[in-house]
Structure 1
Amino acid sequence: MKLWVGTAGYAYPAWVGDFYPPGTSSTDMLSYYARQFSAVEINSTFYRPPTIEQVEKMCRKVPAGFGFTLKVPRSASHENSPDELPAFHRAAEQFAARDCLLSLIVQIPEAFRNSAVNRAWLVHIREQLRPFPLAVEFRHRSWDVDALPKWAAKHGFDVVSVGVPDIPTLFPNGLRAEGPRVYARLHSENADAWYSGGTARYAYDYPDATLTEWASGLTAAAAAGRERALVFFNNCVGIQATTNAKRLIDLLRETAPAIEIVPPPQPVEPKGLFDDVE
């Protein structure tokens, strides 16, 4: 099983000085990030689809082999509007044409409960975004039913595994590996701050014991023949997401040699004038 590990977003000014070198500008963040991780989840597409020019700019900043996942616009996931899906699809095509699109992800709110109407809307999103891989992150526990894996497989969804607190209304915490692809988002297990508003819920540092549990789940998924896994840390208050991501990679290298951890791709150095002369 191939595994990509990264963070949810990269353009965090608060990371400068700790993760990014002091003085790093926002325009240089992605190129530095791509030397540390093999993939990133792009959150800005949640607010608006990127233009072709923005896609080209992002792809120029990363070496070949780096992977992006794109979050479906909130107009579709939170407002049930199809208006931005065509532009989002065009952006996904541009990433795919450059061989750097790993997946799309639709994150639906906790208020979006399991119902026939809501299932139909998700299927509509799925159909509008073919042929790209699409993961769906459920927030409400009503979606945790026995029929979910079969329904997701029928319509071509990957069900997101979530790292969240053990709160009765939330979709259950833990790794799911029913389909051929695994997509995991580790947010936080900070139950006290989960509903406090703002970014407080994401101020969380995953302990080794919890990361070891996720490593064990990924090892089991690999043993079960899963094709690939994407893991993104969303606890991006402070640099915990980056340190937790690197620690998970270290744990897997120690305990799961059968998992092919995709390393950060190396930039291709330009050839000198006489490099081809023997």
Structure 2
Amino acid sequence: MSIKIGTASWTDTTLIQCGRFYPAGCSTSEDRLRFYASQFPLVEVDSSYYAIPSAPTAALWNTRTPPDFTFDIKAFRLFTGHQTEPKCLPKDLQTELPKTDAKYLYYRDVPAAVVDELWRRFFEVIEPLHAAGKLGAVLFQFAPWITSAPRERAHLEDCADHMRLYPTAFEFRNRSWLDEAHWEATLAFERAHGLVHVVMDAPNGVRTRASTVWETTSPDLAIVRLHGRNAETWAGSASAAERFNYDYSETELTEVATPIRALAQRAAQVHVIFNNCYEDLAQRNAAALSRMLSD
């Protein structure tokens, strides 16, 4: 049984500004990643959602972490159906985009040649980590409007086909994937495509979240992502940090520890990611759950 616990990102502005996680003098990108990797065995790269990193940057992640360190990488937002500003694409590819007054692009709006090149560059980033044994999974966090309807399902199949050589996890935000009528079919879809099911902990009674289903679809890996339970800030917050401003109590951590242990009996490894990235809340909660599970 192997459970790795970490947080989503190590460079959040509020984390750095709070001054409680990184020691004095830890002020460079290299210093912060090295220190983070001394505290946790796993991190989720969040920046790759906003823009595809450069291959040299990913190479530095590899050299600055121990051999047994693991990266989960978020897929670029265009791939997951989110609205994407043209400036988020590499500058040399922006000139290949269709002329439009629209502020945002979607996957379907981008010429096939540009899409192919974006996939190629994304693979260029993750391949060195994969070759070094440090790539845990690539996380596709699909937009809330990506439903289980046939057209959207076809897009997910396209993503799964592109990712067939790499461990890949799907997190759904639309209710139609994991509601009472569809969750079994969705898990069957993930198993058929070799995908890792993501268990999402989030506020109850809010929109833009799917149900929490504590199941595995891969014998190799299960992923649990904890977004906090702050229903008041889930929608409409000025920043992601405010949205996920939530401190899990000891009781709540105990609640999730039990099903996490159960997942670890059915998958070779479980990744637990705290995405409540406000100041050092995620780091403190991750450390507390690590102590709880080690006991």
Q: TM-score, normalised by structure 2?
A: 0.81
2:116 counterpart of 1:74: no
Task: Determine whether 1:179 maps to 2:218.
Answer: yes
Moved more, 208-217 or 23-32: 23-32
1:155 and 2:188 are equivalent in the alignment: no
Write the distance in 1 (CA, Å) between the matches of 2:78 and 2:164.
18
Give the CA RMSD over aligned residues: 1.6
Alignment of 1:1-278 (within 5 A): 1-16=1-16, 17-27=19-29, 28-77=31-80, 78=82, 79-80=106-107, 82-83=115-116, 84-144=118-178, 145=182, 146-167=184-205, 169=207, 170-173=209-212, 175-180=214-219, 181-197=221-237, 198-199=239-240, 200-223=242-265, 225-254=266-295
Give me the whole-angstrom Cα distance separating, in 1, the residues matched to 2:22 and 2:142: 31
Structure 1 pair 139/118, CA: closer, same or farther in 2 (3 Å)? same
Note the residue ranges of structure 2 that are not aligned, 5 or more in a row: 83-105
Between the two proteins, what is the percent identity of the paired residues? 30
The Cα of 1:94 is off from its aligned counterpart by 1.4
Q: What is the number of equivalent residue pairs in this alignment? A: 253
Match of 2:87 in 1: none
Alpha-carbon distance change, 173 to 210 in structure 1, aligned in 2, over 3 angstroms: farther
Query: Match for 2:144: what amino acid?
Result: E
Give the drift of 1:8. Answer: 0.3
Q: Name the residue aligned to 2:89.
A: none
**SS of corresponding position for 1:70:** strand
Which letter maps to 2:189? W
Shifted more, 52-61 versus 73-82: the winner is: 73-82
SS of the aligned residue for 1:192 comes to coil
Q: Equivalents in 2 of 1:233, 1:109: separation in Å?
A: 19
Matched residue type, 1:243: R
Secondary structure of the residue aligned to 1:183 is strand
CA distance in 1, matches of 2:272, 2:215: 12
1: CA distance, partners of 2:197 / 2:38:
29
Letter in 1 for 2:215: R
Name the CA distance, whole Å, in 1 between partners of 2:206 and 2:233. Answer: 15
Contact 2:202 2:228 in 1 (8 A): yes
Listed one character per residue, the Cα deviations across residues 80-114 of structure 1 (whole Å, up to 9, x for unaligned) are 25342221112111111222111100011111111
| Per-residue CA distance 1:134-171 (angstroms, 9 max, x = gap) | 00110111101121111110011112111101125421
1:39 and 1:222 mapped to 2: Cα distance?
Answer: 16
Report the Cα offset of residue 13 of structure 1.
3.8
For 2:194, give the aligned amino acid.
G
